[in-house]
Structure 1
Amino acid sequence: MSQSSQKLEVDELYQKAEKMEDGSVISDFDPNSLEIRRVRRKADLHLIPIFSLLYLFSFIDRVNIGNAKVAGIEKSLGITSNQFNMALTVFFIGYILFEIPSNVMLKLLGPKIWISLVIVVWGGIMMAMAAANNAGSLMAARFFLGVAEAGLLPGVIYMISVWYTKREMALRNGLFFSMASFAGAFSGILAYGISKLHGKANLEGWQWIFLLEGLFTICLVPLAYFGLPQSPATAWFLTQAERELQVARLRRDAGPAKEEHFSWTQFRMAVTDWQVYMYIIGYFMGSAPLFALSLFIPSIVLSFKYDPVITQLMSNFGGHTKKAVAIGLIVSVGCVGGVLGSFIYRAEDAPLYTRGHTISAALTFVAGCASFVLRFLYIRENRRRDRLSPEERARAAEGEELCDRHPDFRYSY
């Protein structure tokens, strides 16, 4: 099907959804009806496994430098502990700078093309890290690895947000993020197996870790390109009737915040919205201990004087534009926590690392408090909107592209 004919088909589908919203069909939707459950199950079976697998390898590739440290990269390159910590930090600098641009590119090119490009680039950089021969080259590779990986996490979160209703997203995001925990265990086992290649082809164990794990990542490109649809309106795994139902129910769930075109107005709304910064606080506080433990668990275990091979095995741990920009902003600024996490566990605190564990626990507590406060504020705002008089509602609904500021929009928590 040509691009023009496909666009025409999508436009007709959205026009049909608009007509359904003006009539009685949408209002009669039962979210637990057999038809909707079938569409939701198809999305779960086709999308969540792909998202989870991509994130698994993304997380492995960003934290495998911890396994490389155990495999001797510091000694091989002649770098100090401070230089190693800087190599951890520069990843997050590249990651932070390119989160929002990556989500804008995702919206312009579509997930099928953009995420496939992202995987090729980050896998290639991962493999190139095997050629690092000093601290500078290692830091440069880590910086560009962060730039490349910046396109995945916020991109996938954004895709989940355009495929599921507000109340369906939490579970799917939870399943997707659970891969971070699995990566912690899987990374150690994988590094153990790969490090056994030490000496083969005159390469050290840490070089083999970067080479093979980067290659495994690139092998995921066909899965992303052929498995990810550009949008719910063009999903190949849904029938025509199911695509119409999916688009209609998502547009109904979006309510007044259904603008899908790129908008600088929504861009500005995202970067000035207090909610975004509440999420940033929670994500920052949660990501610092997450990345600290993910990066340093192999070193922490090694401090107990286990053999390096055993150490590897023991390391068992509203409007579319506004939505895209907000997600990118939350993840990018929140990932500054990863910079902090790079310095929480100091070598001189071994083997108990009391200081690092205390900081991690405190940050996790603050993240929980931020989530509680945000939930309270959402409840209060929804109730305020429920109490608006017809005149107050009419005044609040004036203007264009109000997105979630429209008085008919309700926050999910």
Structure 2
Amino acid sequence: MESKESVNGDLREPESRNSDGHDSTTRPPALTRREQKQLWRKVDLRLMPTVAVMYLFSFMDRANIGNARLQGLVTQLDLTGNRYNIALTFIVIKKFRPSRWLSGITMLWGLITTLMGLVKNYPQLVAVRVCLGLAESGLGCGVFYLFTLWYPRNMIQTRLGIFWGGATLAGAFSGLLAYGISFMSGTVGLLGWSWIFIIEGLCTVVVGFVSLFILVDLPETATFLTPNERAYLINLKGTSSSLTPVAEHDLTPVGEEEQFELRQLKDALIDWQVWFQGFLNLFVALAVYGITLFLPFGFNTTISQLLTVPPYVVGTVTVISWGIWSDRIQIRSPFVFAGLSLCLIGFAINISDASIGVKYFGTFLIVAGGYSSIPALLAWISSNVVGHYKRGVSISIQVIMSNIGGVIVSNIYRTQDTPRYILGHGLELLFIGMGLILTPAVALTYMRINKKRDERMREAQEKGVKYVPDELRRLGDRAPDFRYTL
């Protein structure tokens, strides 16, 4: 047995390593830069269009209750008082499943959405919304987690941005589609709101069915890749330097089965960053969900539906461009802070006595800032949490916190507060302000920890000792050579 020595409480051993500090046995098969670009293009083409369209329809099916409201939902089902708000609060978080389940739950919630168009009273609406929450809750966190198994952390926000861009674009499509469907009002005795649910739900079923034949699971089962490309992904590792975006043990080898231990769940639940970023997700979600409830501005149905389109188109462009930019410079916090700042300005405008035109401009800021912050936050926590199970639990907590935001928002934007929504906008400003304080606090904490770890690594190098790879992997993001993404 090789001798080990303890420095600052960490196990280390002298080892024979390559000049770059990595064990040669863990190096992935060599791919040229051109081959790597071809590989990621293949992966993107098989993953991104499918999951983006799935999420687009998922978000449309969640947000279409706002469009249905404009087409007579409230009047016909007698959603007086807070009944409309209560129907929106039933969100159930289900444990996410591997990608092979995503197509199935897509078809399931599409069927439920279709049936929502046939409800006749308020209790039936609430019951169907509960079922919809059960079916939909596994998609977002399941796809987020799937991305972490395919992409290294220095590439993930671009992909999350494209994926989340589907949700942003859904805001535009939902308004356009609802406007077109409104002309069917009265067909076979059903009002426009019923046809919104029925047609959008059936479209979702089709998307889920088609995805059964397109969606891929994990790299080791990806038949569209060459054996060398699969081996490269399975063994993908980064470098172990504080100046590089990926630490050697940042990701367990892609697709590798990691034995579950209770400590992994405990590590996620007691990790400060999981909860701090969870609250940031809550604050951003309040803005994202809130905009869907007041954007129509009280105009007639046709104008209200069409007014929802431009802000979401601008938001989609912002989401994707910020994602590419963030991956390029490998920093997340400035984009979260910038997004929250745009939301703050947008809500401040809308709570004021400004003209409708100025308030409408404010909605562009809210949509662009809120929707762009979501993938930045998900990429941030995914980059800074190591281990399949800990990362999975951490992502699910972020989604739970976001959905709590949806519960809160659906009850603070009350019909009796139109058109200024003093209560809703005021609380939005409060929570966004808290987010603007918390974001730099988290980034500065990461910076301080990284600095301490730099000092510890220098001490270790001076003493001529190296960390034991197995111990580093067990320590995960608490390992001394791991550097948090700021």
Q: Same fold (TM over 0.5)?
A: yes
1:23 aligns with 2:16: no
Q: Which amino acid aligns with 2:476?
A: C
CA deviation after TM superposition for structure 1 residue 33, in Å: 2.0
How far apart are residue 394 of structure 1 and its match?
A: 5.3
Matched residues in 2 for 1:260 and 1:228: separation?
Answer: 21
In 1: Cα distance, 2:396 partner to 2:158 partner: 20
Question: What is the identity percentage for the equivalent residue pairs of Structure 1 and Structure 2?
Answer: 36
**Could you tell me how far apart the structure 1 residues matched to 2:423 and 2:192 are?**
31
* Unaligned segments of structure 2, at least 5 residues: 1-21, 240-245, 312-385
Q: Larger deviation: 244-253 or 286-295?
A: 244-253
User: Where does 1:9-408 land on structure 2 (aligned, <5 Å)?
Assistant: 22-23=23-24, 26=27, 33-90=33-90, 92=91, 94=92, 97-98=93-94, 101=95, 103=96, 106=97, 110-112=98-100, 114-250=101-237, 255-256=248-249, 258=252, 260-263=257-260, 264-298=262-296, 301-302=297-298, 306-316=299-309, 317=311, 318-388=386-456, 389-390=459-460, 398=471, 401-408=474-481
* Matched-pair contact (CA < 8 Å) for 2:216–2:222: yes
Compute the displacement of 1:262 (Å).
4.7
CA distance in 2, matches of 1:37, 1:367: 37
Out of 63-72 and 385-394, give the one that drifted further: 385-394
User: Does structure 1 conserve the Cα–Cα contact (< 8 Å) formed by 2:114 and 2:200?
Assistant: yes
Residue pair 1:396, 1:407 contacting (<8 A) in 2 also: no
8 Å CA contact 2:28, 2:236 repeated in 1: no
Question: What SS does the corresponding residue of 1:138 show, helix, strand or coil?
Answer: helix
Range with bigger deviation, 281-290 or 34-43: 34-43
Q: CA deviation at 1:313?
A: 1.8
User: Is contact 1:396–1:406 with CA below 8 Å preserved after alignment?
Assistant: no
The 1-side partners of 2:145 and 2:26 are apart by 27
| Native 8 Å contact 1:266 1:322 kept in 2 | yes
CA contact (8 A) 1:167 1:412 kept: no
CA positional deviation for 1:76: 0.8
Q: Which amino acid aligns with 1:331?
A: V
CA distance, structure 2, for counterparts of residue 277 and residue 385 of structure 1: 22
What is the rounded CA distance, in whole Å, between the counterparts of 2:387 and 2:27 in structure 1? Answer: 19
Paired residue type of 1:291? Y
Query: Structure 2 CA distance, aligned partners of 1:397 and 1:378?
Result: 24
Corresponding position of 1:17: none
TM-score using structure 1 length: 0.83
Q: Residues 51-90 of structure 1: CA distance to partner in whole angstroms, max 9, x if unpaired?
A: 2111111111101101111111111112213101000112
Deviations 1:172-212 (A, max 9, x none): 21222222321111111111111211111111111111111
Question: May I ask how many residue pairs the two structures share in their alignment?
Answer: 374
Greater helix share, structure number: 1
* TM-score w.r.t. length of structure 2: 0.71
- Measure, in 2, the Cα distance between the counterparts of 1:358 and 1:334: 19
CA distance in 2, matches of 1:54, 1:383: 41
For residue 397 of structure 1, report the CA deviation from its aligned partner: 7.6
1:9 corresponds in structure 2 to none
Whole-Å separation in 2 of the counterparts to 1:382 and 1:361: 32
Residue 266 and residue 374 in structure 1: after superposition, are their counterparts in 2 closer, same or farther (change >3 A)?
same
For 1:44 and 1:368, the matched residues in 2 are separated by 33
* RMSD, matched Cα: 2.6
Query: Is the contact made by 1:130 and 1:208 (CA closer than 8 Å) also made in structure 2?
Result: yes
Matches of 1:115 and 1:45 in 2, distance apart?
17
- C-alpha change, 1:281 and 1:33, in structure 2 (3 Å) is same
Name stretches of at least 5 consecutive residues in structure 1 with no aligned partner.
1-20
Distance 2:470 2:451 in 1: 17
2:144, 2:395 within 8 Å by CA — same for their partners in 1? yes
The 1-side partners of 2:258 and 2:265 are apart by 11
The C-alpha deviation readout for 1:312-333, integer Å capped at 9, x for no partner, is 2222231111111110111112
Kindly indicate whether the alpha-carbon contact (under 8 Å) linking 1:397 and 1:407 is maintained by their aligned counterparts in 2. Answer: no
Aligned letter for 1:245? Y
Q: The residue matched to 2:474 in structure 1 has which SS?
A: coil
